Amino acid sequence: METLETALDAAAAVSGAFLMFLLFYQIVIGLFGFRKRTKDYADHDPQARFLVLIPAHNEERVIGDIVRNLEEMDYPREMYDYYVIADNCTDRTAEVAREGGARVIETRAESPDAPTGKPIALRKALRLLGDYQNRYDLMMVFDADNLMDTNMFREVNSQYLDKGRPDFIQCYLGAKNKGGVVAWFYYTGYTTTNRFFDLAKHRLGLNCPIGGTGFAMSTAYLYKRGGWTTMSLTEDFEIQVEATLEGRRILWNHYTRVYDEKPTSLRAAIRQRMRWGQGQWYVTLRNTGRVFKSLLEGKIGFGEFLSTITYMYSVAALPLSILQGAAALGADMIGQSEPLVDFSLGGVSAGAAILGYSYFFLFYLADWMDNRIRFDVRTIPLMMAGFVANAVVGAFMQIGGLIKCKDQQHWVKTDHSIAASTVSGRECSPRKRRKAA
């Protein structure tokens, strides 16, 4: 029994230490998001040529809005082309897109049981487009429900030229909606991480995460890697890890935004986050060894190594917490030397302080700094409800995703229905900008 107690104590200590390291690392990184944003690149005249791809499956209710948005971009029209990829559609997605002026690529599954989803659609479209690497400098991918600031191509062009033509640029991830508990916790999460994670990492010279939409990718790099080769349910995370381990640069742009529709029901959020969890666990378990190998081979520095490994294993926070609690409980039951649960004032106070800082303070500060929305005490009940909803959804993502991580073939679509005419609010609507000088 002593051996078992020792093993349980060791498991609790190791998992607890790793959780503390994750928390400490995130707090330290976040410190670099406090400084007022200042653009770190000069404005340049349009030079970059853009290929824009919009994968869409049965999106007739929203596809017309992004098409109109792309027709109004503040960038020379002859320097960007956009295509709607109508993937296995059974509605009027293709027709609505064509009526708005879009070029449309229609794709179909080879058989009823063939894999489908965004990665497959992108791969097929690039094959049909042929020599895209000669005609375009950058490819941008948007979801069908997205809207974007009209200055996006102009800002990405300037950063791309000023920063030595990096392989990736990820733009600020905004929201079309934030009404209701579920959409609110998405909004708070992205608002906080945009500044105190993504912008902070960028300021430290570290690669920022790729968010799945609103990112620009070098067509030369895309062609070199054989087109769109990712196959996981989180193709953005997969290509982020692969590019990082090859020593590629992923920059962050805080000065132009893409807006997507957030789920409004707990069921939809669980389904979406479960898919994200499946994909993140799959990529994490598959690439952990490669991260250490890239460090040893000098392809990435120690800072990038820490950044990558902590981001990869952030999905393990809840399973590790459960492991730590179960191991400590088991050791206490065997030894009976300490109380089974420690409700010390110090421990409770520390937990409350961390929650108050990381969940409340950082969000309200980011919302003011980036969106000019002042703190409103009436939002506190919504924040608390969002915290509970996020915990429930996170449990499905981290634990359910781990259980189902081998399944990377079944894509669960998130339905979209919010039309641009119903979008309102400073944060939730695209902004038109003056042309750069």
CB 284 within 8 A of CB 401: no
Q: What is the C-alpha to C-alpha distance for residues 41 and 436, in angstroms, rounded to an integer?
A: 12
Ordered DSSP codes for 193-247: HIIIIIIHHHHTTPPPPP-SSSEEEEHHHHHHTTSS---SS-HHHHHHHHHHHTT
Q: What percent of the chain has pLDDT over 70?
A: 89
Give the predicted TM-score (pTM) of the model. 0.89
Q: Is 390 a domain residue?
A: no
Q: Is 278 exposed, middle or buried (0-12, 13-18, 19+ CB in 10 A)?
A: buried
Q: Is 106 a domain residue?
A: yes
Q: Is 18 a domain residue?
A: no
Q: Which residue has the tokens 């707990």?
A: 266
Q: What is the C-alpha to C-alpha distance for residues 372 and 366, in angstroms, rounded to an integer?
A: 9
Name the token pair of 309.
């490994």
User: The domain spanning residue 64 has which CATH number?
Assistant: 3.90.550.10
Q: Is 163 a domain residue?
A: yes
Mean pLDDT, the chain, integer = 88
Name the token pair of 3.
């051996």
Judged by average pLDDT, the poorest of 51-65, 94-108, 251-265, 347-361 is: 347-361
Q: What is the C-alpha to C-alpha distance for residues 145 and 423, in angstroms, rounded to an integer?
A: 12
Query: Which residues, 6 or more positions from 339, have their beta carbon under 8 angstroms from its beta carbon?
Result: 332
**What DSSP element (H or E) covers 338?**
none
Q: Is 243 a domain residue?
A: yes
Nearest by Cα to 34 from 175, 252, 192: 192
Domain containing residue 260: 45-265
277-304 confidence digits (pLDDT tens): 999 999 999 999 999 999 999 999 999 9
Number of domains the chain contains: 1
Q: Is 303 a domain residue?
A: no
Ordered DSSP codes for 144-165: TT-EE-TTHHHHHHHHHHHTT-
81-139 confidence digits (pLDDT tens): 999 999 999 999 999 999 999 999 999 887 776 667 788 899 999 999 989 999 999 99
Q: Is 298 a domain residue?
A: no
Q: Is 406 a domain residue?
A: no
pLDDT higher than threshold 90 for residue 381: yes
CA distances 297 to 124, 224, 307, Å, are 34, 21, 17
